[in-house]
């Protein structure tokens, strides 16, 4: 028993040491590993040529540039339900997707300064639209497994005493397809992701709820306990916010529409001085 306790402690110390050495490892190997998603457009996705793209991926490219010359970026595709484990286990150095910051997740990883604000909305068929939680009663509802949206959905249904058949899916595109084929009545996910799928899907007959069902603050997930690396990431983000360069990065993904007032306030608050 004593040997097991000692071994566990040694493994914990080794994990902390590995986490604290991200910058050293990156500079020794010359490789910076960015974890990204295939299905979280417009934040983190594969474009038509299979290249990593999206607003959050672009932020991580700025972090890569801040590491200095001679560093090669390696993109690692991660599944939604494995993305935090990929950071924790050292398979990626940083997670570049629409990850909501929660206290439970901070037991596994650290987070950067906030990168975006969004919230859950519901995709349904226009013939039977969903505009509020009460509309989900008796319906078949899809949600991405292992997300804060899944927790909000299940908790709200329970709190309101609504009976709904919840189906967990592994890909946002699968959720949309199931609604299209009438195997689901609704699919709940971040509004930005649903809106992007609708823009490119060329499928009439869908309805997107006007109201948010939750509010989410995104951040870049980092190895826990690696203060030096987190400082470099936060310096990079704060510089983008402070200089206004974040506007060009936003425009690349979202166009030149005015920045939402709440989002702009978030940028101003986190535009920390050097």
State the pLDDT at residue 109: 98
Element (H, E) at 120: strand 120-125
Domain boundary among 156, 182, 208: 208
Q: What distance in Å separates the CA atoms of residue 274 and residue 266, rounded to the nearest whole number?
A: 18
Q: What distance in Å separates the CA atoms of residue 52 and residue 67, rounded to the nearest whole number?
A: 19
- Residue 1 pLDDT more than 60? no
Residue 43 lies in a domain: yes
Cβ-contact 220, 43 below 8 angstroms? no
Residue 274 lies in a domain: no
Partners of 118 in beta bridges: 216
- Residue 18 pLDDT more than 60? no
- Residue 84 pLDDT more than 90? yes
Angle at 104 between CA 18 and CA 5, to 5 degrees: 50
Helix (H, G, I), strand (E, B) or coil at 221: strand
Residue 53 lies in a domain: yes
Domain boundary among 208, 242, 258: 208
Residue 166 lies in a domain: yes
Looking at the structure, do residues 261 and 172 belong to the same domain, yes or no? no
Looking at the structure, do residues 100 and 24 belong to the same domain, yes or no? yes
Domain boundary among 156, 191, 208: 208
Instruction: Give residue for tokens 């570049």.
Output: 96
Looking at the structure, do residues 134 and 181 belong to the same domain, yes or no? yes
Number of C-beta neighbours around residue 250 at 10 A? 18
Residues contacting 242, CB < 8 A, separation 6+ = 271, 272, 273
Residue 137 lies in a domain: yes
* Tally of domains within the chain: 2
- Residue 71 pLDDT more than 90? yes
- Residue 93 pLDDT more than 50? yes
Give the least confident one: 175-184, 218-227, 228-237, 251-260.
Answer: 251-260
The share of the chain scoring above pLDDT 90, in percent, equals 77
State the pLDDT at residue 20: 54
Among 210, 250, 254, which residue's Cα sits nearest to residue 120? 210
Residue 128 lies in a domain: yes
Looking at the structure, do residues 104 and 239 belong to the same domain, yes or no? yes
Sheet bearing 165-169, strands edge to edge: 165-169, 140-144, 186-190, 120-125, 206-208
Q: How long a stretch of residues is the chain?
A: 274
| Top-confidence range, 15-19, 46-50, 203-207 | 46-50
Q: What is the mean pLDDT of residues 147-160?
A: 92
- Residue 17 pLDDT more than 50? no
Looking at the structure, do residues 83 and 126 belong to the same domain, yes or no? no
Looking at the structure, do residues 113 and 223 belong to the same domain, yes or no? yes
- Residue 14 pLDDT more than 60? no
- Residue 200 pLDDT more than 80? no
Looking at the structure, do residues 97 and 125 belong to the same domain, yes or no? no
pTM of this structure:
0.81
Looking at the structure, do residues 18 and 143 belong to the same domain, yes or no? no
Looking at the structure, do residues 199 and 226 belong to the same domain, yes or no? no
Looking at the structure, do residues 165 and 199 belong to the same domain, yes or no? yes
Cβ-contact 117, 43 below 8 angstroms? no
Q: What distance in Å separates the CA atoms of residue 71 and residue 65, rounded to the nearest whole number?
A: 8
* Residue 146: CATH number of its domain: 3.40.190.10
Looking at the structure, do residues 106 and 223 belong to the same domain, yes or no? yes
Q: What is the mean pLDDT of residues 253-260?
A: 85
Helix (H, G, I), strand (E, B) or coil at 29: helix
Q: What is the mean pLDDT of residues 209-226?
A: 93
Looking at the structure, do residues 159 and 102 belong to the same domain, yes or no? no
Residues contacting 246, CB < 8 A, separation 6+ = 240, 267
State the pLDDT at residue 70: 92
State the pLDDT at residue 9: 44
Per-residue confidence at 13, pLDDT binned at 50, 70, 90? very low
Residue 8 lies in a domain: yes
What is the span of the domain harbouring residue 248?
A: 2-118+217-269
- Residue 10 pLDDT more than 70? no
């Amino acid at each position: 028993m004593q040997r097991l306790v000692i071994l566990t402690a040694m493994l914990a110390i080794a994990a902390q040491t590995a986490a604290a050495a991200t910058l050293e490892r990156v500079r020794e190997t010359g490789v910076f590993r960015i974890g990204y998603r295939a299905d979280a457009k417009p934040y983190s996705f594969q474009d038509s040529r299979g290249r990593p793209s999206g607003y959050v991926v672009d932020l991580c490219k700025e972090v890569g540039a801040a590491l200095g010359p001679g560093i090669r970026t390696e993109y690692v595709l991660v599944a939604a339900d494995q993305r935090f484990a990929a950071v924790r286990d050292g398979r990626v150095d940083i997670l570049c997707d629409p990850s909501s910051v929660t206290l439970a997740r901070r037991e596994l990883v650290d987070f950067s300064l906030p990168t975006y604000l969004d919230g859950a909305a519901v995709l349904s068929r226009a013939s039977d639209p969903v505009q509020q939680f009460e509309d989900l009663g008796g319906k078949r509802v899809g949600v991405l497994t292992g997300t804060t949206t899944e927790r909000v959905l299940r908790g709200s249904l329970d709190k309101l005493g609504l009976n709904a058949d919840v189906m967990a899916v592994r890909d946002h595109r699968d959720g949309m397809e199931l609604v299209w084929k009438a195997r689901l009545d609704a699919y709940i996910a971040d509004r930005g992701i649903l809106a992007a799928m609708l823009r490119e899907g060329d499928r009439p007959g869908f309805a997107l709820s006007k109201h948010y069902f939750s509010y989410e603050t995104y951040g870049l997930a980092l190895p826990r306990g690696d203060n030096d690396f987190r400082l470099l990431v936060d310096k990079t983000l704060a510089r983008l916010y402070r200089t206004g360069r974040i506007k060009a990065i936003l425009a690349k993904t979202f166009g030149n529409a005015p920045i939402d007032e709440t989002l702009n306030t978030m940028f101003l608050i986190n535009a920390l001085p050097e």
